[in-house]
Structures are given as C-alpha cells and as structure tokens.
Amino acid sequence: MAVGKCNGAEAATKNVAVIFGVTGLIGKELLRKLLSKSRWKVYGIARKPEITPIQNSNYHFISCDLLNLSEAQQKLSLVQDHVTHVFWVTWASQFPLDTQQQCYEQNKAMMSNVLNALIPTTNSLKHFSLQTGTKHYVSLQGHSNGKEVRYYNEGSPRASGGYNFYYALEDLMRERLGGKVAWSVHRPGLIMGNSQRTLFNFMGCLGVYGSICKYLNLPFVFGGTKECWEEMHIDGSDARLVAEQHIWAATNEKIYSSDGQAFNAINGSSFTWKDIWPAIGLKFGVKVPNNMFSTEFVFSKELGDKGGVWREIVEEEGLVQTEMEDLANWEFLDMLFRCQVKMLGTREKADRLGYTTKCNTLESVLYWIDNMREEKLIP
C-alpha cells in the first residue's frame, strides 16, 4: 500500500493530539503513525490499556470511563498541554445499534462529557476529527436496497428511520464547534485492522476462524446469504488508510472547515467475497471446498462453543494469552454476511482534494493476517 502524505506542513511547534479510543482498530494506527512523525505528543484515552502497551516518551495513556462526567473531567485535567488535535474513534457499544434511549443517547452523552471537560480548558484546538461509518447512508432496520448497486457520496441524505448515533455525534459537533473550530467526519466501511479491544473486529473473527479450521481440519466455509457472497455489498477500509486520512484532514489547513467536512474513508475498488475467499483460505493453509458457500452455516452456532479449542491453540502455539471473545465476535460476522442492505460509497471527494491513497481489499486482509501473526495473536 502506498503511504499517503499529509498535504499540510506540520506546525513549527509540537502538536498535541488526544485519541479517544486509542486501543481500537483505528486508534492503534493513529497512535503508531503520529508517533512516527516529528513534533507530535499524544495522549491516548480508553477504558482499558492494550494487552501489550506501546512504550514511548511522547505517549501517555489515560484510563477513563467517558460516560462518567466527573471521571472524564478529572482524568482529562491530566492533559496539561495545549491540545491542538482531537481524534474521536470510539463509541459506546453496550447496547444494540439504532436504539434511541440506549445507544443513541449514550454515545451523545459520552462525546458531550468530553467536550464539556476539554473545550473550556484549551484555546489551542485546531481540528477535531470524528469517525463514524458508511452506515450513515442506510438504515439497518430497513429492507434490502435492491440488486442495483448504488454508491453513496458525502452529500447523500441521511437514512430515514431508526436512531443512528452517527447523526447525534455530527449534530453535536456542529452545535458545539460550528464556526469556531475546524472539524471533519470520516466514514469507513468494513475496517481491516488489528485490536484486542474492539467489538466489531472483522480481522479478529477471520483470524480465529481460520486458525480453528486449520487446527481441527475443518473446511473454510463462507456462511451467509447468496447476495452477500456474490454481489458487491460493502467497502473495505484498511486501518492504515483510514488513520492516515484522519491525519491528512486534521493537518491540511487548505481544507479546514469550521462548518464540518465529511469524507468517505474506503479502499477504492469494490470486491465480492466470492472472489477473495479462496485466497484468504490459502493464506491460512486450510481446506477450501469446491462449494465454499453455505446458507446453513451460522458462525455463532458453529463456533460459539469453541472457546476451549482456542485456548488449546493459544497454549500449543505460544500465543499472547487471549480468550476467543477478545478477538472474535461471531454474531457480528453473521450480521455482516447476512446484511440486507448494501453500504457502498465513492471516494471521489477525498481523491479530488488530494488524498489519493488506495488499497486492494484482498491485500489488506492478507497484510493484517501477517500483522496478527507477527504480534503472536494467531498462529
């Protein structure tokens, strides 16, 4: 993958970033990329630290429950420096998506707590970067949007129905920062990355599934709907590309907007699972049957009881100590491979404004399998 370069010159003085959700798929990459650049000091916020924390004199981790206002105010007071950039790549995931009094209001309250605690204490903030997703354009409570492939752009209207917390966060940004501080919104599709602290961890699911298939000599089956198997259904978003896009927008003053600027954050060309599934199986060294597709195979039913098998694999292979649930969420995989709506976007806007980095989704998957192996998370 070509590494994107920030178009804006870094400030002459040291930038101070706060990453909310630093242990997640994008948070980890944001941290790695910022620390690799000069003149950055980074504060990372999450409830729990990484299993193997990053050690760097320019990085400080703060454990914090952002839903607790008093705790947020107390812990964020530890950020003594003049904060220049905020990256919001977290969400409260205790409740189902699109629930008003739970997921919607909880996420709104979490960001509100941070804005109340952070904004009054700094007048040096240059940019606030918010991450949501391409679910911005659809309602998961609706029915299939048909076989016709539609590509959503950043100006596409919000979906009707449901309580998508993405809208609550964007509206809160507009209300609190509009006309005062530059901010941007980034909307990835299916994120390919590596984390042990992420609920919707696609690569974690895939890594554990492939490893169990290899260990038990099971066929590498795709369980889902025929439409999800054969048709373009969702965009891939490499965590490296998404993190670099955050930084590009946050440091490129030519595109700053205090009214908010939205960008799809996707790899590029679309793909089908039917086309890339055999190569993924080959990477794991597992049996790929001639008929890889099954409507009857349900991941949560077939793999939900394999926690003991995973512990055996971890022990025999000398892997980092994890429980299966630290990496894999089978209900998420079932939801992904049986989703009734298509979430496909265009990246024309980012390309036009100068962020032209693209990825091949199969290559992204293979890269992150290697990355998990290097970190001794999978064999």
Question: Is the CB of residue 284 less than 8 Å from the CB of residue 217?
Answer: no
What is the set of active-site residues? Answer: 135, 166
Q: Residue 46: what are its φ and ψ, rounded to 5°?
A: -165, 165
AA letter at 177 = L
- Helix, strand or coil for residue 124? coil
> Across the strands, what pairs with 129?
87, 184
Question: Is the CB of residue 192 less than 8 Å from the CB of residue 364?
Answer: yes
Q: Burial of 55 by CB count in 10 Å (0-12 exposed, 13-18 middle, 19+ buried)?
A: exposed
Residues whose CB falls within 8 Å of the CB of residue 46, separated by 6 or more in sequence, listed in order: 20, 21, 22, 23, 24, 27, 61, 63, 64, 90, 197
Q: Burial of 247 by CB count in 10 Å (0-12 exposed, 13-18 middle, 19+ buried)?
A: buried
For the chain, the helix, strand and coil percentages under 3-state DSSP, each to the nearest 5 = 40, 15, 45
Q: Burial of 57 by CB count in 10 Å (0-12 exposed, 13-18 middle, 19+ buried)?
A: exposed
CA 361/CA 370 separation, integer angstroms: 14
CA 128/CA 247 separation, integer angstroms: 11
Neighbours of 274 (CB within 10 A): 15
CA 302/CA 216 separation, integer angstroms: 13
**Torsion of Cα atoms, 330 then 334 then 337 then 343, to 10°:** -90
How would you classify residue 219: left for phi > 0, otherwise alpha for psi between -120 and 50, otherwise beta? beta
The two tokens of residue 88 are 């919001």
